[in-house]
Amino acid sequence: MQVLKHLFDTNREWATKIKESNPEFFLQLSNQQTPEYLWIGCSDSRVSENLLVGKMPGEIFVHRNIANVVVHSDLNCLSVMQFAVEVLKVKHIIVCGHYGCGGIKAAMDNQEHGLIDNWLRHIKDVYRYHQSRIDSFQNNEDKFNLLCELNVIEQVANVCHTTIVQNAWKSGHELVIHGWIYSIETGLLKDLNVCITNRSEISKVHQIE
Ligand code: CO
């Protein structure tokens, strides 16, 4: 018995269409991947990295979790980063959040949500670091949007603080860390202008000699 038959049907059509325009596409991809980008994004089904920047399989290495959080001790995220940087030699790491993020919204309330509260607490920390700025807004929507942005900026910093990224810079690997945010309402990306290219741009206490 085949379940979810419609997905297999769609898959067959998709692969056929690609092979029609490039018969070697899958064969070439099977031999190697050379993505230039590592994308760290939210798991939200509406934020599909390949689709929204028009990339094909093989072009973006991906790590996604609830609210695109980079936790210092998350071996899953760190392993993805290590492989992307040290083996695949990606040139860019993009942390991409999105407005209307359910994870961020849940972190802003005082309800109990179960296991996920342990994850959302990292976002509450981001709120706490920037509390006076966020609370200077009266409107909850403005606070929510700002926290979505500040969370991206904080996670960009967390990426830069890893030994993975700092060792890459030390060895002369040109690696740029970007912070972007996506609007589900418009389908458009916005650059938060927090591009980091070397260790002198991160806080002193985090710089590794
Ligand atoms: Co989200």
Q: Which of 9, 12, 46, 133 is catalytic?
A: 46
Cα-to-centroid distance, 61 and ligand 1 (Å): 19
Reported as a single tens digit per residue, the pLDDT across 94-123 is 999 999 999 999 999 999 999 999 999 999
Cα-to-centroid distance, 109 and ligand 1 (Å): 15
What does the pLDDT read at residue 52? 97
Taking residues 128-144, what's their average pLDDT? Answer: 97
42 tagged catalytic: yes
Q: Enumerate the CATH 3.40.1050.10 domain ranges in the chain, comma separated.
A: 33-206
Taking residues 150-159, what's their average pLDDT? Answer: 98
Cα-to-centroid distance, 207 and ligand 1 (Å): 30
Beta strands 60-65 and 37-42: pairing type? Answer: parallel
What does the pLDDT read at residue 136? 98
What does the pLDDT read at residue 132? 98
What does the pLDDT read at residue 209? 87
- Residue 73: strand, helix, or coil: coil
Residue pair 95/180 in contact by the 8 Å Cβ criterion: yes
Q: Which of 101, 130, 160, 178 is catalytic?
A: 101
2 has a pLDDT exceeding 90: no
For residue 190, what are the β-bridge partners? 181
What does the pLDDT read at residue 72? 97
- Residue 39: strand, helix, or coil: strand
For residue 64, what are the β-bridge partners? 41
CATH superfamily of 33-206: Carbonic anhydrase (3.40.1050.10)
Cα-to-centroid distance, 175 and ligand 1 (Å): 25
- Calpha distance 46→164 (Å, rounded): 30
Reported as a single tens digit per residue, the pLDDT across 159-193 is 999 999 999 999 999 999 999 999 999 999 999 99
Reported as a single tens digit per residue, the pLDDT across 30-69 is 999 999 999 999 999 999 999 999 999 999 999 999 999 9
44 tagged catalytic: yes
What does the pLDDT read at residue 202? 96
For residue 151, name the pLDDT band (cuts at 50, 70, 90): very high
What does the pLDDT read at residue 22? 96
Measured between its terminal Cα atoms, the distance across the chain in Å is 59
Cα-to-centroid distance, 182 and ligand 1 (Å): 10
DSSP string, 131-164: HHHHHT--SHHHHHHHHHHHHHHHHHHHHHHSHH
Q: Where do runs of H (alpha helix) occur along 58-180?
A: 75-82, 102-108, 117-129, 131-135, 140-161, 163-170
160 tagged catalytic: no
Cα-to-centroid distance, 12 and ligand 1 (Å): 30
Q: Which of 63, 98, 122, 178 is catalytic?
A: 98
Q: How far is CA 80 from CA 68, 77, 85, 88, 157, in A?
A: 13, 5, 9, 10, 17
- Calpha distance 117→122 (Å, rounded): 9
How is residue 121 annotated by DSSP? Answer: H
User: What pTM was computed for the model?
Assistant: 0.96
